[in-house]
A and B are shown apart, each in its own frame.
Chain A
Amino acid sequence: MAYDALIGPFTEFEFMRRALAAVIALSLAGAPIGVFLMLRRMSLVGDAMAHAILPGAAVGFLLSGLNLFAMTAGGLIAGFAVAILAGVVARSTGLKEDASLATFYLASLALGVTIVSIKGTNIDLLHVLFGNILAMDDQTLLVVAFNATVTLLVLAVIYRPLVIESVDPLFLRTVSRAGGPAHLAFLALVVINLVNGFQALGTLLAVGLMILPAGIARFWSRDLTTMICIAVVAAAVSGYAGLVLSFQTRVPSGPAIILVATVLYIVSVLFGRVGGIVRQMFPGRHLEA
């Protein structure tokens, strides 16, 4: 019974196996990016970027219909353009990055919805906005896995300056010029992972598999490495449970994954070891030192 409910869908259906592989790849790459987004107080920046990729994806859709390659390429171009423009404007004018990004993403979102509505139907718009991980083919899965691999490699390269820039940016500026390139590379990784998630979850929910696991991890550890590991596990568990939930109840897969992550988040807010509400209410006896 439990086997049929929890394992059966994946042994029986290839599209479920592909979807599971995709969410694991998304978790491995997206969750660490989400942790850095949260720690750099850029969670909403990630959300804004998710909207920013829409016009590119929409142009891809306009030119090739629901062709995932065209939409991915378009999304990447639009995302990079907005990330780099917002980053350059913020760094060269002193305007805060979130304010700079807000301008660009709003323009992008308006443009994207306009483009989709010119050619598409409401169903097309729903697909772009919310994705469909169950419709993923082998080629798309390879693209997702490739993007995840690139993300982890680049993150390994920029990890040290990224950490130092997050905690003490002035220090990094005095000892190295790596801060600027690391920041831009990080924004690029945000875009890559949003586009990656966009295949599965759509533009509106793609950021969810990055930010929610990061939020969960924050309630369980004060150590960066541990937080990243917890975030990856939380994302993968949400992905798996969301797929099962979607399969069993016919709830759309993207929202199902994000809803499971939300449940894990609520549990963490309540019972988390670091700052959880219950822990604060019943902290136990104080220590000697």
Chain B
Amino acid sequence: MAAVHFHNVTLGYDRHPAVHHLNGEVARGALVAVIGPNGAGKSTLLRGIVGILRPLDGSIHLGGLDARDIAYLPQSAEIDRSFPISVFDFVSTGLWRVAGLFGGIGKAAREKILRAIASVGLNGFENRPIGTLSGGQMQRVLFARVLLQDAALIVLDEPFNAIDAKTTADLLALVKQWHGEGRTVLAALHDMEMVRNHFNETLVLARGPVAWGPTAEVLTPENLLVAMRMCEAFDDTAAACAADDINSRAA
């Protein structure tokens, strides 16, 4: 069974689509890169998958998974880093699935949290407020939380943006470890070399699907050119969408 099934899904804001008419499925255990220029709808698609954004049209089915089986790593800009919370407490929120509203955090859970923090290379940072961390350190903290969530489907929104090569390599190793454990991983990315070398499946997005399949076949100069020429129209006077329009254009 597929981990994620898109059925003619359109996602957007206030009736304006950011991703038109996407069909297809992500197999369980797949490692998929979602690429496209800024404004292509990558983050919107990921928000649709994790249930933050309801589709304007069509549907997204998560083969038997519920919200608690999904770990989502948003772009760091969404997090209020001035809030007085320590690295330990922030990472511990990854245990929501088991701890919920009232569950305590016992000795075993504390050790699990400490292990997650250590495995992203942040030993000794447990009591640091998150507001004092660098961009790369904060990204490691977010990965530690994902690690703790122990989710079947992992959705990463530009996880390697603005971080150095060492941190990127460490965190990429974690992504590959998750893939090796049979988890499904979707990541919105910009680095074509990374996608080419480490992701075996790619969806090229440009407000609609441009191409989707094995990375070697999909990541062609032609497809990237189509994506680059994407129209970023946002027109309040636009006519209602004719359903098949974008699919026929992509074909």
Asked if A and B are interacting partners, one says yes
Please list the residues of chain A having a beta carbon within 8 angstroms of any beta carbon in chain B: 39, 94, 157, 160-161, 163-164, 166-171, 173-176, 178, 221-224, 227
Q: Are B84 and A222 in contact (CB under 8 A)?
A: yes
Q: Does B245 contact A (CB under 8 A)?
A: no
A169 contact set on B, CB distance < 8 A: 78
Report the separation of the CA atoms of residues A167 and B83 in the bound assembly, to the nearest whole angstrom. 6
Identify which of A94, A157, A166, A170 contacts B101 (C-beta below 8 A). A157
7 additional contacts (CB under 8 A) given A168-B78, A168-B90 = A39-B83, A160-B101, A170-B74, A173-B51, A174-B50, A174-B72, A178-B101
Q: Are B101 and A171 in contact (CB under 8 A)?
A: no
Map CB proximity to A onto B73-91 as digits: 1 under 8 Å, 0 otherwise. 0100011100111100010
Closest to B157 in A: A170
- Min CB–CB distance A182 → chain B (angstroms): 9
A94 contact set on B, CB distance < 8 A: 14
Map CB proximity to A onto B97-108 as digits: 1 under 8 Å, 0 otherwise. 100111000000
Q: Are A170 and B78 in contact (CB under 8 A)?
A: yes
Please indicate which of the listed interface residues A169, A170, A171 has the most CB atoms of chain B within 10 Å of its own CB: A171
Please indicate which of the listed interface residues A39, A168, A178, A223 has the most CB atoms of chain B within 10 Å of its own CB: A168
Map CB proximity to A onto B174-204 as digits: 1 under 8 Å, 0 otherwise. 0000000000000000000000000000000
Identify which of A161, A168, A173, A175 contacts B97 (C-beta below 8 A). A175
Report the separation of the CA atoms of residues A29 and B98 in the bound assembly, to the nearest whole angstrom. 30
A174 contact set on B, CB distance < 8 A: 50-52, 67, 70, 72
Q: Are B83 and A166 in contact (CB under 8 A)?
A: yes
B129 contact set on A, CB distance < 8 A: 222-223
- Min CB–CB distance A214 → chain B (angstroms): 12
Q: Are A166 and B80 in contact (CB under 8 A)?
A: yes
Closest to A176 in B: B96
A170 contact set on B, CB distance < 8 A: 52, 72, 74, 78
Report the separation of the CA atoms of residues A176 and B85 in the bound assembly, to the nearest whole angstrom. 20
- Min CB–CB distance A166 → chain B (angstroms): 6
Chain B interface secondary structure, helix, strand, loop or mixed? mixed
Report the separation of the CA atoms of residues A45 and B101 in the bound assembly, to the nearest whole angstrom. 26
- Min CB–CB distance B184 → chain A (angstroms): 15
Closest to B131 in A: A222
Please list the residues of chain B having a beta carbon within 8 angstroms of any beta carbon in chain A: 14, 50-52, 67-68, 70, 72, 74, 78-80, 83-86, 90, 93, 96-97, 100-102, 129-131, 145, 149
B68 contact set on A, CB distance < 8 A: 175
A157 contact set on B, CB distance < 8 A: 101
Report the separation of the CA atoms of residues A160 and B100 in the bound assembly, to the nearest whole angstrom. 9
A224 contact set on B, CB distance < 8 A: 83-85
Lowest 8 A-B CB distances belong to which pairs? A167-B83, A174-B72, A175-B96, A174-B50, A170-B74, A222-B129, A224-B84, A168-B79
Identify which of A164, A178, A227 contacts B93 (C-beta below 8 A). A164
Report the separation of the CA atoms of residues A251 and B179 in the bound assembly, to the nearest whole angstrom. 70
Q: Are A161 and B101 in contact (CB under 8 A)?
A: yes
Report the separation of the CA atoms of residues A175 and B83 in the bound assembly, to the nearest whole angstrom. 20
Closest to A164 in B: B93
- Min CB–CB distance B52 → chain A (angstroms): 5
With A167-B79, A170-B72, A175-B68 as contacts: A227 and B84 at CB distance below 8 Å: yes
- Min CB–CB distance A176 → chain B (angstroms): 6
Q: Are A167 and B96 in contact (CB under 8 A)?
A: no
Identify which of A161, A168, A178, A223 contacts B84 (C-beta below 8 A). A223
Please indicate which of the listed interface residues A175, A178, A222 has the most CB atoms of chain B within 10 Å of its own CB: A175
A168 contact set on B, CB distance < 8 A: 74, 78-80, 90, 93
- Min CB–CB distance A70 → chain B (angstroms): 36
A-B contact pairs, 23 of them (CB 8 A): A39-B83, A157-B101, A160-B102, A163-B85, A166-B80, A167-B80, A167-B85, A168-B80, A168-B93, A169-B78, A171-B74, A171-B145, A174-B72, A175-B96, A175-B97, A175-B149, A222-B84, A222-B129, A222-B131, A223-B84, A223-B129, A224-B84, A224-B85
Report the separation of the CA atoms of residues A164 and B90 in the bound assembly, to the nearest whole angstrom. 8
A39 contact set on B, CB distance < 8 A: 83-84
